[in-house]
């Protein structure tokens, strides 16, 4: 049922009923508006859970088809091919994080306008974000094509994996605009409280990707190129479907955009997007900077580490989903003039983090070897399996830390308090890189993952202290 404020809005904004206008059109518009506002009216735990679950499930499907690349290539091509995709992973994930972080920056602005029911400004912000994303993706894709092989050389990629890694990256960068456009449309759906729609598209394209992976790699023997083309096609399907449905949904909101591009809106988005990109990229930038250290331990260790990182990316998904949900939740409630709901939502999010962390720890401690074997197969070398197992056994106990970090970061990002947010993530990155680079060559590859929870803890502490000040 609409509340008093919503009834007043309907009375003010809705068109007068006419005999020649279908009744269901007006009624549908009212019902849809009420459903869209659930982040500002439902109980915090219910609202965040309802909003974050589609994001988590969608990200799990997205990670599933990136894992399919690794698992199918590792089983049907070679351990060197798996190492090649692993060597490429840190670099490709940075571009994914740029897309996700930029989308979050845009969604915060759109969420505020949506929460305040300023739909004309909301549309202007949406169009500005779409045009900016298209230009940035074309630019980055071109740069990636020019420098992909050189970057792999800088990262000390093993010679036997270098050509395969460059081949995979070149195809990936051709499809980069599709990846960016899908992520910006997903962010726009989330800003409107419609996180279920991109989930449906992503589930469909994930199934297509896995099927194409198997067909191109196992049946057509296309190697790493087949895995890359499968991902490109799947991303293209997601981008097209998301674009079509989102633009149809946007037309249902009253108000007209004054312009399709606005520099002021772009600047506002950029102020939030750049720290968000940095935060989203912290893990990947750190991984890329220490990739040369991992590579120095040889192809077998790199293959095991790559498999473990794929599994970690799955484990981080629920934590990232909760943090991203809190950003939209915070922005909408601030826009609606309900800041007191933000603190209640933050406490509810931490409870969700603890639940997911306990489940992840149990699974990794009990099933680390069979999980690693999914990637390396029966012929995986002892060194590769041992490296992957050691990583998972250690990290299983610490995913609550990244969950707490992402939750409080979500509040700061959604409120636009980006200074301490940026500092906290920079400290996280610095600790991980410095400890890994200085300790791993002396004490072994295990030092690379020992540094991870230390960085997460420092990040959480700085962000949490800022949250406690109330200045956000």
pLDDT tens for 85-112 read: 777 776 777 787 788 778 877 888 888 7
pLDDT at 443 over 80: yes
Q: Of 43-52, 178-187, 203-212, 264-273, give the lowest mean pLDDT range.
A: 264-273
Q: Which residue in the block uniquely carries the two structure tokens 């992520």? A: 183
pLDDT attached to residue 21? 39
* Rounded alpha-carbon distances, angstroms, from residue 197 to 187, 213, 242, 245, 472: 11, 25, 8, 9, 31
- Mean pLDDT value across residues 223-252: 84
Query: pLDDT-derived band of residue 35, with 50, 70 and 90 as boundaries?
Result: low
Confidence at 7, pLDDT banded by 50, 70, 90: very low
pLDDT at 457: 94
Residue 3, pLDDT score: 47
Buried b (16+ CB within 10 A) or exposed e, 319-355: bbbbbbbbbbbbbbbbbbeeeebbeebbebbeebbee
11 vs 252, residue with greater confidence: 252
Instruction: pLDDT band for 42, please (50, 70, 90 cuts).
Output: confident
198 pLDDT band, cuts 50/70/90, is confident
For 326-355, give the DSSP string.
HHHHHHHHHHTT-THHHHHHHHHHHHHHHH
Higher pLDDT, 126 or 465: 465
State the pLDDT at residue 287.
Answer: 64
Looking at residues 277-298, what average pLDDT do you find? 69
pLDDT score recorded for residue 23: 36
User: Residue 153 has what pLDDT?
Assistant: 82
User: Predicted confidence band at 187 (pLDDT cuts at 50, 70, 90)?
Assistant: confident
User: Which of 35-39, 88-92, 334-338, 406-410 is the least confident region?
Assistant: 35-39
**259 vs 130: which has the higher pLDDT:** 130
Structure tokens that stand for 399 in this block? 């995913």
Q: What is the CA radius of gyration of the chain?
A: 23
User: Per-residue pLDDT for 20 more than 50?
Assistant: no
Please tell me the predicted confidence (pLDDT) of residue 214: 84
Q: For position 31, what pLDDT does the model report?
A: 44
Distance, CA of 180 to CA of 350 (rounded, Å): 30
pLDDT of the residue at 296: 73
State the DSSP code for 256: -
Question: What pLDDT digit, counting tens, does each position of 129-159 carry?
Answer: 888 888 888 998 898 888 888 888 887 777 7
Chain centroid, CA 465 distance in Å: 25
Instruction: Give residue 351's pLDDT.
Output: 94
Concatenated DSSP letters for 349-414?
A: HHHHHHHHHHHHHHHHHHHHHHHHHHHH-TT--HHHHHHHHHHHHHHTT-HHHHHHHHHHHHHHHH
What is residue 105's predicted lDDT score, i.e. its pLDDT?
78
Question: Would you call 195 helix, strand, or coil by DSSP?
Answer: coil
Predicted local distance difference test score (pLDDT) of residue 408: 94
Lowest average pLDDT, out of 293-307, 356-370, 457-471, goes to 293-307
Tokens of 434: 């410095």
pLDDT attached to residue 379: 62
* pLDDT over 70 at 217, yes or no: yes
Is 348's pLDDT higher than 80? yes
pLDDT at 33: 46
The mean of the pLDDT values for the chain is: 79
């Amino acid at each position: 049922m609409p509340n008093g404020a919503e009834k007043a809005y309907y009375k003010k904004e809705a068109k007068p009923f006419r005999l020649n206008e279908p009744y269901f059109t007006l009624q549908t518009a009212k019902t849809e508006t009420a459903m869209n506002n659930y982040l500002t009216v439902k109980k915090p735990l219910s609202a965040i859970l309802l909003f974050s679950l589609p994001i988590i499930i969608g990200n799990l499907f997205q990670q599933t088809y990136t894992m399919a690349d690794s698992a199918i290539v590792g089983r049907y091509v070679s351990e060197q091919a798996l190492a090649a995709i692993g060597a490429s992973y840190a670099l490709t994930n940075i571009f994914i994080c740029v897309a996700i972080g930029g989308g979050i920056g845009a969604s915060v602005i759109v969420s505020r306008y949506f929460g305040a029911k300023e739909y004309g400004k909301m549309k202007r912000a949406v169009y500005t974000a779409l045009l900016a994303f298209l230009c940035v993706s074309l630019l980055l894709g071109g740069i990636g094509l020019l420098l992909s092989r050189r970057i792999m050389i800088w990262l000390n990629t093993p010679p036997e994996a270098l050509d395969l890694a460059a081949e995979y990256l070149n195809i990936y960068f051709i499809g980069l605009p599709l990846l960016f456009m899908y992520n910006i449309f997903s962010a726009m759906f989330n800003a409107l409280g419609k996180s279920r729609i991109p989930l449906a598209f992503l589930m469909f394209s994930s199934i297509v990707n896995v099927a194409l992976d198997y067909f191109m790699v196992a049946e057509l023997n296309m190697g790493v190129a087949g895995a890359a083309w499968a991902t490109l096609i799947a991303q293209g399907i997601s981008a097209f479907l998301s674009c079509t449905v989102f633009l149809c949904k946007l037309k249902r909101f009253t108000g007209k955009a004054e312009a399709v591009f606005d520099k002021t809106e772009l600047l506002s988005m950029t102020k939030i997007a750049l720290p968000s990109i940095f935060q989203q990229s912290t893990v990947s930038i750190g991984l890329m900077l220490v990739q040369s250290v991992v590579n120095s331990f040889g192809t077998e260790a790199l293959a095991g580490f790559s498999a473990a990182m794929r599994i970690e990316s799955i484990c981080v998904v629920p934590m990232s989903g909760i943090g991203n949900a809190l950003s939209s939740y915070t922005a909408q409630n601030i826009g609606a003039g309900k800041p007191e709901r933000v603190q209640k939502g933050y406490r509810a999010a931490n409870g969700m983090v603890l639940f997911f962390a306990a489940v992840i720890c149990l699974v990794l401690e009990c099933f680390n070897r069979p999980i690693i074997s999914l990637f390396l197969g029966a012929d995986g070398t002892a060194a590769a399996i041992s490296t992957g197992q050691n990583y998972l056994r250690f990290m299983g106990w610490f995913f609550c830390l990244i969950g707490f970090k992402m939750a409080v970061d979500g509040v700061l990002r959604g409120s636009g308090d980006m200074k301490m947010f940026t500092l906290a993530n920079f400290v996280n990155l610095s600790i991980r890189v410095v400890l890994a680079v200085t300790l791993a060559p002396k004490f072994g590859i295990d030092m690379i993952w020992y540094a991870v929870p230390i960085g997460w803890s420092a990040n959480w502490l700085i962000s949490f202290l800022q949250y406690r000040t109330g200045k956000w």
